Structure 1
Amino acid sequence: MAAEPNAADERPEHGSSMGLDTSVAHPARVYDYWLGGKDNFAADREAAERVLAATPGLRIRVRANRAFLARTVRYLAGEAGIRQFLDLGTGIPSANNTHEVAQAAAPAARVVYVDNDPIVLTHARALLTSMPGGSTDYLDADLRDPERILAMAGNILDFEQPVAVMLLGVLHLVRDSEDPWGIVERVMAAVPSGSYLAISHPAMEINPGQEEAQRRYNERVSTPQTLRTHSDVERFFANLELVEPGLVQVHQWRPEPGDPTPEDGTSAHGGLGRKP
C-alpha cells in the first residue's frame, strides 16, 4: 500500500535546522505515522508500510497501546494516589499525553518527560502545558544513561515521595547487549517504596508475522528494535508487586468501554508493578 502524501514532505529532506536526517526512518516518526499523525517523512512512511504489510493489524494494536497508557495513568493518579510521573521515551505528543490524563484526575500532579529524539524536542512545548497547581517539564536525555536522567529529574521530582515510572513502547529500542533490565533496575532503585513501574513492550511470540515485521523494520530505521517474550518482559518487574490482572496484553489490562480491541486479539505485553 502506498503511503499517502503528507504535509511534512514540504520540509527540507535533511532537516538541517532541527539536526534531523529525515532520509532515514526514525522510531518516533514511524510510530507517529501508525497513530495517524503528521510528523513523519517519506522514509518513515515507507518503513511503516513495510511493517504493516507483514502485520496488517498493527495500527489498531498501536492505538491499543495508547489506550493502555491512559488507563494506567488514570489508575495511578486516581486509585493509587500517585502525584509524580517520570515518563521515559515520551515520543511525539499525541492524544492523552501522560500529563493530560494525570492532571485531569489530580491537577497537582507533576510530570517529567524524557526523550533523546530531536523531533520530540521540537514538540516539547506541547508537553509543557499544565493545570494550575501542577507542573510538567521535558528533559533531553537518553534512557541508556539513567543516572543522568535521575540527577536532572531530581531537580523537579521529590524522590522521597512515590513516583510512577512510565516505560511505554520504548524498551524494545534498547538491545539486550545494552542491558535494559539493568537500566530499569537502576531507575527503580532510586524511587521509594510505593512507587510504580508501567511497561508496554511489543511482543515476539503472540502475533504471527512479528518476526518478519521486526526484520523489515530493522532494515529501514536508525534505531533497531528487539521484540521480547512474556518471560523477558516479566523480568523487568522483578521484586515488584504486579497490579491485577498482572502482565497481560495491553488491551486486556483493565479495559474500558470504547477502547481499541485488535481484531486478531493480540497486542503488546503490558503491566503495572508496585515497589513494596
Structure 2
Amino acid sequence: MTDHRTALRADVEPPLLDVPGPRVVHIVDYLRDAPAVTPPDPAVITAVPGFLRRCVGYLATDLGIGQFVDIGSGVPAAEGVHGVARTHDPDSRVVYVDTGAAASVGSRTAVHVDGPVTLHVKRLDAAGIAGQLGLRGLLDLTSPLGVVLNADALPGDNAVGALVRGLYEILAPGSHLVICRRPPNDADPHARQRAATLFEPFDLLEPGTADIAWWPYPDDEVAATGTGVLAGVARRP
C-alpha cells in the first residue's frame, strides 16, 4: 500500500479563481439532494453553528489540532469549520473537499474562498483526497488532522464505511474524525448504534453518537426535542 503520510509542501499556492462569496451551506447541506420542495429544517439550521463551535473548538483547543478537512459540506460558510478553528488559532489551515455539485466551480480545482481552500474532486474517496492534498501541498498528513464528514453527501452507509476506512489508513495517529448523519429512518430505535458503526475502525469518544443540538451530552440526558441529525467524534489511535 502506498504510504500517503509523507511530508507535504505547505508553500504551494493553488490557483485563485473568481468564485461567489461564502454562503451558508455547511452540515445543513445534506438537504441539497432532497427534492426542491423540501424546506430547510429550522432546527438544524439553528443547531449547526453551536455544534461546530463545540466539536471544532474541542479539537482545536483541547487537542491542539491546527489543520482541518471538511468533506462533503460544499462552499465554505462564514461560520463554518474555518471560522471556528481560526477563533482558537488564526494560523489554522482548513480545506473543504467536495465533488463540486454544491459549489459548481469544476473538478480537480483548488480555490481560495475568503481564507480557506475549497478542493473539488471527482469522487469522495480517501486516496483521491489525499493525493490532491499532497499534490497541492495544502496540509501535512504526517501530523494530526481534524476531519469533519457530512455523511449525507455519500450515497449510503457502505460508501461512508469505505471512505472512513480509507481515512483511517491515511491519517496520522492522533487525528480525529467527526461524522454527521441523519438516520435513514427517524423512527429506528437503534439509530444511534447504527450511526456508531460508521466510525469503525476509529475509536469513538464518549458519549458516542448524539443529536447535534446538544452533543457532547448523551441523548438520554436531554429532554428537549432534537434535530434528528446524529454526530460523534472518534480518534485515530
1:246 aligns with 2:208: yes
Residue in structure 2 matched with residue 165 of structure 1 by the alignment: 147
Tell me, yes or no, if the aligned pair for 2:110 and 2:119 is still in contact at 8 Å.
Answer: no
Gaps of 5+ in 1: 1-27, 35-39, 53-57, 131-135, 209-227, 256-260
Which among 220, 228, 231 is matched to residue 193 of structure 2?
231
Residue deviations 1:155-177 (CA, integer Å, cap 9, x gap): 21111100111103xx2242348
Higher-Rg structure is 1
Residue deviations 1:9-43 (CA, integer Å, cap 9, x gap): xxxxxxxxxxxxxxxxxxx69x5697xxxxx9xx9
Residue in structure 1 matched with residue 174 of structure 2 by the alignment: 194
- Aligned equivalents of 1:275, 1:187: Cα separation in 2: 9
Which among 35, 38, 56 is matched to residue 48 of structure 1?
38
Residue in structure 2 matched with residue 156 of structure 1 by the alignment: 138
Task: Report the Cα offset of residue 128 of structure 1.
Answer: 3.2
- Aligned equivalents of 1:179, 1:187: Cα separation in 2: 12
Task: Report the Cα offset of residue 254 of structure 1.
Answer: 3.4
1:73 aligns with 2:63: no
Tell me, yes or no, if the aligned pair for 1:65 and 1:200 is still in contact at 8 Å.
Answer: no
| Equivalent residue runs for 1:100-111 within 5 Å | 100-111=83-94
Gaps of 5+ in 2: 1-24
Using a 3 Å threshold, how does the CA distance of structure 1 residues 150 and 262 change in structure 2: closer, same or farther? farther
Task: Report the Cα offset of residue 266 of structure 1.
Answer: 4.2
Residue in structure 2 matched with residue 275 of structure 1 by the alignment: 236
Task: Report the Cα offset of residue 143 of structure 1.
Answer: 4.5
- Aligned equivalents of 1:119, 1:179: Cα separation in 2: 19
| Equivalent residue runs for 1:123-162 within 5 Å | 128-130=113-115, 136-154=116-134, 155-162=137-144
Using a 3 Å threshold, how does the CA distance of structure 1 residues 77 and 142 change in structure 2: closer, same or farther? farther
**Corresponding letter in the other structure for 2:94:** V
Q: How many residues align?
A: 203
Task: Report the Cα offset of residue 205 of structure 1.
Answer: 4.3
Using a 3 Å threshold, how does the CA distance of structure 1 residues 59 and 263 change in structure 2: closer, same or farther? farther
Using a 3 Å threshold, how does the CA distance of structure 1 residues 78 and 249 change in structure 2: closer, same or farther? same
Higher helix share: 1
- Aligned equivalents of 2:173, 2:30: Cα separation in 1: 38
- Aligned equivalents of 1:249, 1:59: Cα separation in 2: 15
TM-score, normalised to structure 2's length? 0.71
**Corresponding letter in the other structure for 2:69:** L
